[in-house]
Amino acid sequence: MHKLVILIEMLENWQEFESRWPEFLHLVEILPGLQREATSRVEHFLYGNTPVAQMHELFFKTQAEAEQALMTPAGQAAGRLLQQITGGRLLLFFAEHKEDDLENIRKFMPPTEV
């Protein structure tokens, strides 16, 4: 699985961003090939040069599907809107996504002494 990750920096006018965010969601939620999405709001920034306020992830089967989705009219409109509502204060990147649950991970861990 691959995902498009959107990291949104701290913004001066967060209320304006919040009021337009549903417009962005409506556009990305109709992208072809979208498997699921997730939004994470940062509650406490710990470290780094670019404080991030929010992360949004769009999951696709392949990076090619994600790239194709971004080229659709909805993908292009979502990109323009995202630039407008963030003033370009964001990071975008593709990432390969691998996930495992803790129960499976523990099957392969050596016993630990307490």
Instruction: Express each pLDDT in 76-88 by its tens digit.
Output: 999 999 999 999 9
Q: Return d(Cα 66, Cα 87) in angstroms, integer.
A: 23
What's the domain range around 20? Answer: 2-107
The answer to whether residue 89 is domain-embedded is yes
Of the candidates 85, 65, 88, which has an alpha carbon nearest to the alpha carbon of residue 75? 65
Give pTM, 2 decimals: 0.86
Asked whether residue 114 carries a pLDDT value surpassing 60, the answer given is no
The answer to whether residue 113 is domain-embedded is no
Q: Which two tokens stand for residue 60?
A: 């696709």
Number of domains in the chain: 1
The answer to whether residue 39 is domain-embedded is yes
Least confidently predicted of 7-11, 44-48, 57-61, 82-86: 44-48
The answer to whether residue 38 is domain-embedded is yes
Q: What was the pLDDT predicted at 62?
A: 97
CATH of the domain at 94: 3.30.70.100
Instruction: Express each pLDDT in 11-26 by its tens digit.
Output: 999 999 999 999 999 9
